[in-house]
């Protein structure tokens, strides 16, 4: 004999147990690899969102995070971009047109938003950084043509 001291029944049991172990290992391997792939995909999606949101969308604008009281509707706050006009609490105009992107965080009563500010208005905004600002919806007012003053009389001169 070749050194086997067990019966045929014991050998059959061992092969059944080994088959169960192999099936368990296969199922465990499939589940773990699927979890790993899902985690890798989720991480790349988050990185892509961060990269996408950190760039400016308009020429001659800079992205800043500012404390802001937004007087906007919920729909406007949830939209990806909203045009706003920035004022101080004392009603001083800071920026005629800025683009509100998203809410970053909320500390006590102050809410911080990511805003695109025109390069020409960055200096004004930096002067009021320690104050909370107010954002209202931007309304574009078309420039009207300057009308000529109305003259009385005729356009012709009469010489006598």
Mean pLDDT of the chain: 77
State the Cα–Cα distance between residues 58 and 123, nearest whole angstrom.
18
State the Cα–Cα distance between residues 22 and 34, nearest whole angstrom.
19
User: Cβ distance 97 to 118 under 8 Å?
Assistant: yes
Express each pLDDT in 30-74 by its tens digit: 999 999 988 888 776 545 454 444 455 777 888 888 888 877 777
Token digits of residue 29: 């391997």
Band the pLDDT of 3: cuts 50, 70, 90. low
Express each pLDDT in 126-140 by its tens digit: 888 777 788 888 887
pLDDT of the residue at 144: 66
- pTM score of the predicted model: 0.52
Express each pLDDT in 16-32 by its tens digit: 788 888 889 999 999 99
């Amino acid at each position: 004999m070749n050194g086997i001291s067990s019966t045929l029944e014991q050998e059959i049991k061992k092969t059944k147990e080994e088959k169960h172990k192999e099936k368990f290992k296969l199922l465990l391997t499939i589940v773990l690899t699927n979890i790993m792939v899902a985690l890798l995909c989720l991480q790349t999606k988050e990185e892509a969102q961060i990269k996408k949101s950190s760039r400016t969308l308009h020429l001659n604008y800079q992205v800043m995070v500012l404390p802001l009281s937004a007087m906007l509707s919920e729909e406007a706050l949830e939209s990806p971009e909203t045009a706003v006009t920035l004022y101080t609490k004392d009603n001083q105009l800071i920026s005629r047109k800025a683009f509100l992107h998203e809410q970053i965080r909320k500390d006590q009563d102050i809410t911080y938003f990511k805003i695109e500010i025109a390069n020409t208005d960055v200096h004004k905004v930096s002067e009021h950084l320690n104050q909370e600002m107010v954002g209202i919806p931007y309304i574009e007012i078309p420039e009207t043509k300057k009308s000529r003053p109305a003259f009385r009389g005729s356009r012709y001169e009469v010489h006598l």
